[in-house]
Amino acid sequence: MDLLDTLTAKGLRGEVPTREEALAVLATTDDELLDVVAAAGRVRRRWFGRRVKLNYLVNLKSGLCPEDCSYCSQRLGSKAEILKYTWLKPEQAADAARAGVAGGAKRVCLVASGRGPTDRDIDRVTDTMAAIKDADPEVEICVCLGLLSDNQAERLKAAGADAYNHNLNTSENTYGTITKTHTYADRVDTVQKAHGAGLSACSGLIAGMGETDEDLVDVVFALRELGSDSVPVNFLIPFEGTPLAKEWNLTPQRCLRILAMVRFVNPDTEVRIAGGREVHLRSMQPLGLHIANSIFLGDYLTSEGQAGQADLDMIKDAGFEVEGAGEATLPRHRADVAEAAAAAGSCGSAASACGSGGGCGPCGGHSHGAPEAAPVTEGTDDGLREDLVKVRRRGAGTELAPNA
């Protein structure tokens, strides 16, 4: 296929496809799916070999969020029966982090629900990072606390944070249909604040919220322009008790095409399969490893993932290997730029666009004229698939051992 030959050649050179080429990836048929995966896999291996980076989530504060993000089980007014608790003590969070690191995680992601942190919250997270780094100085720490105020990113950087996560989630055109309590520009501003402080920018999207192909391409190109070093691709987990509980719009094939499009647009960037991997890719998860070079190990913020050992077995059986603590994730040319930016305390990603205007991580009515994806039959009138969507009842905030 000429399209895939073109995309592969561009990806191997580190070049970006056109919007039309990215849209064409999403429009490929199921008969072409393995060809799409193989082409994206060549690009993935060019820049990341057969390494898989493992990341581990620690939910520092669960539920009770004042924001109204329609996709989120922790949102204002959510009736999802998730765990709800206030801030974990530093030693509790450090214990949870140790379980993930022992399971092979290279990066620990510290997440707290809420609109954004207070200065006292920054102090809490600083103490938590110190406890984690005392146990393992080499572990990477990514922080996700919502919208940042001035100088908060600098404080996190000085305290030892390596990265900051704040997802754009969807396109600017459709953002207002998902959330009313803050704007797309607010999210862009926070990513820029983090990058400007020398933190590695981790920012991604959520697919499956009723968006069009154009919306997906819009947000992925926006993430590249922002200079995101890591792009988490979340697939909507339709929690009962949230406005999007019945949005079952994804198939495994659709998820793989989305991942491939993200890889072609971000050939030398960490692409992470994030929330919803088990729910929507299911038995086709190993194919996702041929496109993405990063996953979360074990459970997510409010939902359960597959067993941590199953993740490790899947990686091995698919012919991949876990990335070690001493290995650089990004290719050398991107790592050099990122390190220079961190040292200078300013933006500096290879794809950064820091001059343009200005939640929580994984954790629309607008249309450009393309048809909406048809809902699959796996959804039911009652919404929740209890065999697929399982609320987390172990790990941080409970007395049970974490899944790692």
Separation of alpha carbons 132 and 124, rounded Å:
13
Say which of 98, 107, 144, 202 is annotated catalytic. Answer: 202
3-state secondary structure the chain: CHHHHHHHHHHHHCCCCCHHHHHHHHCCCHHHHHHHHHHHHHHHHHHHCCEEEEEEEEEEEECCCCCCCCCCCCCCCCCCCCCCECCCCHHHHHHHHHHHHHCCCCEEEEEECCCCCCHHHHHHHHHHHHHHHHHCCCCEEEEECCCCCCCHHHHHHHHCCCEEECCCECCCCCHHHHCCCCCHHHHHHHHHHHHHCCCEEECCEEECCCCCHHHHHHHHHHHHHHCCCEEEEEECCCCCCCCCCCCCCCCHHHHHHHHHHHHHHCCCCEEEECCCHHHHHHHHHHHHHCCCCEEECCCCCCECCCCHHHHHHHHHHCCCEECCCCCCCCCHHHHHHHHHHHHHCCCCCCCCCCCCCCCCCCCCCCCCCCCCCCCCCCCCCCCCCCCCCCECCCCCCCCCCCCC
Say which of 65, 144, 255, 363 is annotated catalytic. Answer: 65
As annotated, the binding site for [2Fe-2S] cluster includes: 109, 142, 202, 272
As annotated, the binding site includes: 65, 69, 72, 109, 142, 202, 272
109 is catalytic: yes
354 is catalytic: no
347 is catalytic: no
72 is catalytic: yes
Separation of alpha carbons 1 and 343, rounded Å:
44
As annotated, the binding site for [4Fe-4S] cluster includes: 65, 69, 72
Say which of 75, 107, 109, 254 is annotated catalytic. Answer: 109
Say which of 272, 277, 334, 392 is annotated catalytic. Answer: 272
Output phi, psi for 52, to 5 deg.
-125, 120
Say which of 44, 72, 98, 255 is annotated catalytic. Answer: 72
69 is catalytic: yes
255 is catalytic: no
Say which of 69, 144, 255, 360 is annotated catalytic. Answer: 69
Say which of 44, 107, 142, 347 is annotated catalytic. Answer: 142
* Residues with catalytic roles: 65, 69, 72, 109, 142, 202, 272
